Amino acid sequence: MAVLPAPPDVLEVFLQPGELWFGDEKTRIRTVLGSCVAIVLWHPQRRIGGMCHFMLPSRPRARAGDEPLDGRYGDEAMELLLRELRRTGTGPADYQAKLFGGGCMFGPREGAAAIDVSRRNMEAGRTLLERAGFRLLSHDLGGEGHRNVIFDVWSGDVWLRRAQSAPAVAAPGRPWERPAS
């Protein structure tokens, strides 16, 4: 499959933890993930899609009815994505879904709690997609270190670069690649 070139007036969006963006075919969305997880949704016919970057599966306490949804939590980030779908008159069955992140960011000493957060985030991402009715097309989950993720909404391509964590010296970066299905 050929790589589609970027439109001349592409909007570049960088997501911080807890943020979400939904855009059209003139949008590129980027983020960096550690133990966090990103859900990427793409509508191939309309060339629209979005990405969320969540930190935890859900709030540690119940959300008050008047509190706004918070994208730091997977269940609330999914609800925000579903609102975007309703706004565009589309549904989960129309989209391809991709899931990334859940890397262990700490060494063996701090590992138990960190691995649990990573594992819980990965499980939450899969469960949220399944419950909402999305089909998971590809994923890159777990392992060690962080991931750089770029989503080109005009083509649906997601580019990924993994970096291994190291105690004192940064590991060399790996080339950008499309994750396998």
pLDDT at 169 over 50: no
For residue 144 the two structure tokens come to 């060690």
Terminal C-alpha separation, the chain: 14
Residue with more model confidence, 146 or 64: 146
Helix, strand, or coil here: 118? helix
Distance CA 71, CA 62 (A): 15
For residue 119 the two structure tokens come to 């594992």
User: Could you tell me the strand order of the sheet in which 48-54 lies?
Assistant: 20-23, 48-54, 37-43, 96-101, 135-141
Condensed to tens digits (0 to 9), the pLDDT of residues 33-82 reads: 999 999 999 999 999 999 999 999 999 887 777 789 999 999 999 999 99
Return the CATH class of domain 11-163.
alpha beta
Instruction: Tell me which of 93-102, 112-121, 148-157 is least confident.
Output: 112-121
Distance CA 58, CA 51 (A): 17
Q: What is the mean pLDDT of the chain?
A: 87
What's the pLDDT at 85? Answer: 98
- The confidence band for 172, taking pLDDT boundaries of 50, 70 and 90, is very low
In the chain, where are the structural domains located? 11-163
> Residue 122 CB: number of other CB atoms within 10 A?
21
